[in-house]
Structure 1
Amino acid sequence: MIHHRRFIILCSLTVLVTTLIVSCQQDTTIRAEKAIRDSIRWEDSAYHMVQKMDHYYGNNLTDSMELFAPQAMEFCQNHEKWRYYYKIWANCAMDMVWRGLFMEAVNEAKEMQEDALSRDNADGQMYAYQVLGIAYSYQKNMDEAAQCFKRALTQCERVSYPGSKFALFSYYSNALSEMKDFATLDSVLREWKVAVDAYPVDTADANADVYANWHYKYTLALSNYMIDTKKYDGLEEVLDSADYYEEIDGNYPSSLCHLATCRYKYAMDRGDYKEALQQSERIIEISKDFEMSNYILALRYRSKALEALGNHKEALVSLKRHQELNDSILVAENREQLNILNKRFEVNELKMQAERDQLKAEGRQMMLVFLLTLVSLVGLIFFVIYRHRSSVKLEKEHKKLVETYEQLEVANAKAEESSRMKSNFIQQISHEIRTPLNILSGFAQIITMPDVELENAEKKEINKGILENTDRITGLVNKMIELSDANSQTVIERNETVEVAQIAAEAIESSDISTAKHLVFEQHMPTEVGSIVLTTNHKAAARALSLILDNARKFTAPAEAEIQSQGEFFVGSLKHASLSIKTDETLVYFTVEDTGIGIPPSEAEHIFEEFVQLDDYYDGTGIGLTVARSMTRKLGGDLTLDTSYKGGARFVMTLPR
């Protein structure tokens, strides 16, 4: 009987333990499944938040972004969805770039990079370096931009989505192309080719359009590289491949415009101006309704093609339309910048007013407490005690009121200063000097970066850049004044006597051509010619010759090799420029000859027109030769291009004896 009871108890315990184990396992399984469901739900929620942010970002809904971004980032942070967290942050920073707030965008990206570095998060570091690179690109600081894109690419090795890597390849290639660093660009394109070939395009594949877009970006970059380096073998096949991939991708207007631009450049390079005209008109047709930037650029392309075909009238019409639209865009951008600044100032003023109201409310509240305390006192004994305590309290409250009043004065002064700064900025802004000011801003950023240590050589280089761009602004104003005089009917008095040698010496000194390190300058002037005395305008004659010499200095390419072992350039690798002077019975001939990039005979007269630059990669305003010819003709002479010279460019300026 006892054994029977023990057996029953043992069986009961076994059943109970088994039930508890099964229950615990089921509970653990349920909790694990719930955690997985929650994780999937949070992932979906974060993804939809990013989609919403992309919608705001793509449609320039800045106000909606600023309201939605904080709560979306907080959600992603709470649930550790870091990829989406940094993607939303990057959208906010990029919105600052598109609005021209480059300093704010750079600071935001640096803060993002530090945050991502502290978490060892590759997505965040990649996005941060990408934003920095784009911001520096818009400021024309291509060296810094290229370095940032390169660092972003190194982070892509730890990023799961390959599309990010291909987008960075595109940005990096554009920066290297702008820098003319074709050796590095060639290496990057080879690496890009290997990466993109891992995703072949199969039209039956659901991801065919995505893969086609990646291949399209690569073939477009390769096409631009081949055009820039004049490597035309196989270019047609590359362009046809780009057309094929873009058709699968969806034939987006912006992509079609980029392809047509490549074909336009290729046609212009090989002299097929009719094909170039067709491609420019194709860009106009594609972009006229929604791609204003490409549309404006296409008008300029069309003007160049028409000019090359000899249709000067239509070319002028197209160029004028290009200039009108370009000016309207600049005005709109300036207006947008002013609206942003006005909004900032209004927000600051509202904050100041809120602080003043809060301080006043606190003052009233303290006074009310003080009065209630007085009323609540009862009795003479308590009154004496209260009087002693209240005097101490009153002194403290008085100090607080004084401090509050001082804070109000400071806040009011800040508000007045903000208003004054807004008025001054609106009065001083001018889009005519934006480019040099952006360069100066870039140098200022470098100088003020806390983690950057500059060597003396770098400081000198930055100082040189600042001086050059300051002189550039001054020179632009002076040249525009000279251009205005050139277009007017102003008569230049010719009542001064001056020797030919003196005109030449002053022009050489003014142009700095004799001190240029990238060329060897020579002067050929017989003594009897130099002593000839001209009756002319001394200042105008020297200025006209100086502009021609400055043109030779600017468009003479620097030597490819520099031997600095002894602190000097290798003379054998330098370009040459010379000034030769001769005379006949009626005229004195000033011939400026160089071994620079040269000028096609078809452009012999075009280059003397206002704002004409045959090569956009050289600095300048395109008005120097215009002013020089105008001055020379008003002095009774002329300025022409000698098209028979093939070794560079040869200009001949004549003045009457």
Structure 2
Amino acid sequence: MCIKTYLLCWLLCLLCPGQLYCSSLKTENLTQKMGTLPSHERLSYLAEITQSDKTAKEAIDLYKAEAEKQADKDHIENALYREAYYYYPDSIDGIEAVLSELEPLLLESKDLRRYFQVEMWYLRILSRTGQKEEVLSRVQQLKKRSNELHYPEAIEMIDQELAYFYLVNNMLQEAKDLYIDVIQRFENRSAPISLRLPVYINLFSCVEDKEQQMELINRAEKIIEQLKQEGVTYLENENPVSQYEMSLEWNYAECLLTNEEYDNALKHIENYGRLLHEQKMTSYLPNLYQLYVTYYYSGKKDYKQTLHYLEKIEDYCREKNIIFNLYSFLKIKADLFVEMGQLKEALSVKDEMIMLNDTLNKTSYHESLATMRTRYEVEQLELENRQMEMESRQHRLQNTFLLCGCMVLILLILILFYVVWIINKNKKALTEAKEKAEEADNMKSAFLANMNHEIRTPLNAIVGFSQVLVDEEDRENRAEFAHIIEQNNELLQRLIGDVLDLSKIESNSMSLITSKQDIAPIMHEIYNTFLFRMQPGVELILDETPDLTLVTDRNRLVQIITNLLTNAMKHTPEGHIRLGYRLEENRVVFYVEDTGVGIPQEQQKTIFDRFVQLENGKKGVGLGLAICHGLITRMKGDIWVESEEGKGSVFYVSIPIGL
């Protein structure tokens, strides 16, 4: 005799954790522990407790009360979520009360996964309690809501509960087709393996082919092993992995019993029983008894053991008032008594079956009508679902086209802005280049005019006094004329030398000849040279010269300080000019200070550019400071000025000790 037909309902209980765990927490211990914790740690502790033991109602109540006391919305939401799981799948009133508080919080925090998970628990209770119309109506509402909230993953969750609804209403083909469709969608989007495990377990009840059953068992077994290796203990639907491991053992044993492989089946029956006792899930024991009934009755013909387990299941059915299953087991029990030759006991069981049959017949007609109506509503629901899916695809396609159009438009706008930016940038660069070219041209013109004037002055003096020198007979006058010619010759050589130096600097062809130099003698030499060139009313001061050896180009160093002193003399009509140097870390800082006219603030940034002169009427070509800047740059040093108009200037030159 095949017992599987009579016992399908036991399989449907396997996926409902509800209050099947035996809570090990005691209110007294928990309250004592709470009293030792500071307030800021209590919520975290209770959250951990209710996560590890989901059926600890006392802990859930304490968690909820403490969260409300501290006005912590996140923990209030989490406590209500734990309470909803506690009431699932047996207390419809309890979960409805929690839903009214929890759902607004979940929507406010946009935790859509938990929102739809709670709805799935509610659907499961409705299916188990036979509220068919409510299930179909709520499925339709939830699918619309998932589209409104743009959460397509909820459709897969809803379809799984709809398939479960088909399963409990014995619509096995519809359940099978929908489960397979859900699996296909999971594979298409490469969904996590943990999502597929419940579908494989449920789908087992919908197929009868042994190869298909074994394939589902193998897939589920691989997923469970992988989850164990990854340390995963709970799935997304809050159900423990251990529960699915027990379901897998049940499926394995059922498959082997159906195919009369009784010896192999016994191992999985014992594994199932071991897992039940390890997890203290006593409410699953009737499923274990059902497996032993099949094993001893069909496999071993051990009627005594069969009767023992039948009586255990019979007690459970009477306690839970499961009339249909009780009738099925009484029929098996009556047949068993007949085979055992105990006709009196068999007759007594038959009398009880007649009484139960009257009760079943009264509900059979209504159930048949309800089943027909359910099938009709299911077909209507499927049509509406297909229409909704088509509308959803159309909306997604429209949104995709709109998004692509917006992206193309944004791209074109960005390209346009980029082109305009490039054009403006080029225009600005062109304008700046033009201004610099014009400025350079003006500076060159001024430079050439100054050079023409500066060169002609000594040349005229040389030519003029050369002619006078020929005709002059007085010895003293001849000596004075020769001295004037010599001075103008030196001035002309300096002008030409400055132009050549600047040319070398700009062409990067000037080379430095470095060697160790004692700085103090060089400074005294420069001081003595300029001492007799000072104008009346101007004092030249040389500060203290400490001993210092510097690796540098002597001639270029002298040229830099000489140019700075010449510049100071040119702009200092009275007062003093001070020069000197000091050591700062690994650098030498030279300075030339004057009490001259000073440099305006706006001209201090350009004072070291070539051809630049102050607008004070002083003659010159404006190359001295530019040459200083170029030489110091070659020496890897710095030059800067501190000046206040009307009070004088200080020029600083910083050169590294080891050039």
TM-score range, shorter chain: 0.3 to 0.5
TM-score (norm 1): 0.41
TM-score (norm 2): 0.41
Greater Cα radius of gyration, structure 1 or 2: 2
Flag the structure with more relative contact order, 1 or 2, with Cα contacts below 8 A and sequence separation at least 6. Answer: 2
